[in-house]
Amino acid sequence: MSSRQRTVIIFKSGSETDDVYTETLEKHDFQPVFVPTLSFGFKNLPELRQKLQTPDKYAGIIFTSPRCVEAVAESLNLGQLPGGWKLLHNYAVGEVTHNLALSSLDQLFTHGKQTGNARALGDYIVETFDGSRDLPLLIPCGNLATDTLLSKLAENGFALDACEVYNTLCHPELAENVERAIATYGDSIEFLAFFSPSGVNCAQEYFRSRNLSMDKWKLVAIGPSTRRALESQGLKVYCTAERPTVEHLVKVLLNPQDSRERLLKERERLAMENNN
């Protein structure tokens, strides 16, 4: 490991993008260390499968995470998604989820991948949707899903069919993996990066059990909901990446001031809206 490299502990469930993260971060002299934070278990798949067989009853489908796409594929026993879905209004949060839908659901194309979080996707759907709002949008989701997206769409007259299809739990080896990372990299650890509110909660549970404060390191949030989860724990956020991509992560690690200025402007905008 180069003496110039700065270690980033990445609290993120393993995926096919880990190699891309490693290559890109190392190119910028960061040493990434992945700590699987969450584990997932599917449920209600027969119910989901039944819904998927009737695309004519829906306006489209919304995938809020890769796990939602995986649940659909699993419910179909890795068979083909009925073709009618390709004619509907389909959406995904982020490029990873969009690409997974393409690769595992018979090239199902989704819109909104550039939005990066549920709040932004809700705005995008409201602004661009040109179909009937009488038919519901199918939303496979997890047990810890927030109501940000659902509230936004419901307030704007969309019919919704949310189907809880997986449980999110803390990874059973989280403590062991964190302890190994700290023992291996020690004082070279500069950043802790979090990809989800549930990941924040699981990590905080571990650190509290060891009487350790996460404020010892620079805390990096991927997305606004993750930032709010850290702040709700009384933790100081060093910088926030706008979207869950390695390019956005590197950008804020290299230039955290941009992130802080963007957050300040956003808070000023919200304050003005609330005062009007």
In the 3-class helix/strand/coil scheme, how is 32-75 assigned residue by residue?
A: EEEECCEEEEECCHHHHHHHHCCHHHCCEEEECCHHHHHHHHHH
Asked if residue 176 and residue 102 are part of one domain, the reply reads: no
Q: Is 263 in the same domain as 223?
A: yes
Tally of structural domains, the chain: 2
Same domain, 186 and 256: yes
Cβ burial of 220 (10 Å; 0-12, 13-18, 19+) is buried
Give CA–CA dist 267/273, Å, rounded.
Answer: 10
Amino acid 16: pLDDT: 60
Question: Residue 185: which domain range?
Answer: 6-37+171-275
- Would you say residue 1 lies in a domain? no
Domain end among 140, 169, 198 = 169
pLDDT in tens, the chain (276 residues): 444 679 999 998 766 668 889 999 999 999 999 999 999 999 999 999 999 999 999 999 999 989 999 999 999 986 789 999 999 999 999 888 999 999 999 899 999 999 878 889 999 999 999 988 999 999 999 988 778 899 999 999 999 999 999 999 999 999 999 999 999 999 999 999 999 899 999 999 999 999 999 999 999 999 888 999 999 999 999 999 988 889 999 999 998 887 777 777 766 666 666 666
Task: State whether 54 and 140 are in the same domain.
Answer: yes
Q: Which of 153, 169, 185 is the last residue of a domain?
A: 169
Residue at which a domain ends, from 169, 202, 222: 169
Residue 237 in tokens: 């956020």
Residue 93 and residue 63 in contact, taking contact as beta carbons nearer than 8 Å: yes
The pLDDT value recorded for residue 273 is 66
C-alpha separations of 40 from 20, 72, 211, 218 in Å: 23, 14, 27, 28
Does residue 24 sit in the same domain as residue 61? no
Same domain flag for 213 and 243: yes
CA distance 66 to 225: 17
Q: Are residues 146 and 212 in the same domain?
A: no
Question: What six digits make up the tokens of 232?
Answer: 């709700």
Please measure the distance between the N-terminal and C-terminal CA atoms of the chain and give it in whole angstroms.
53
b/e for 111-129, b at 16 or more Cβ within 10 A? bbbebbbbbbbbebbeeeb
- Global confidence as pTM: 0.75
CA 231 from centroid of its chain's CA atoms:
17
Tell whether 268 and 197 lie within a shared domain. yes
Residues 40, 59, 121, 151: is their CA dihedral positive or negative? negative
Report d(CA 96, CA 203) in Å as an integer: 23
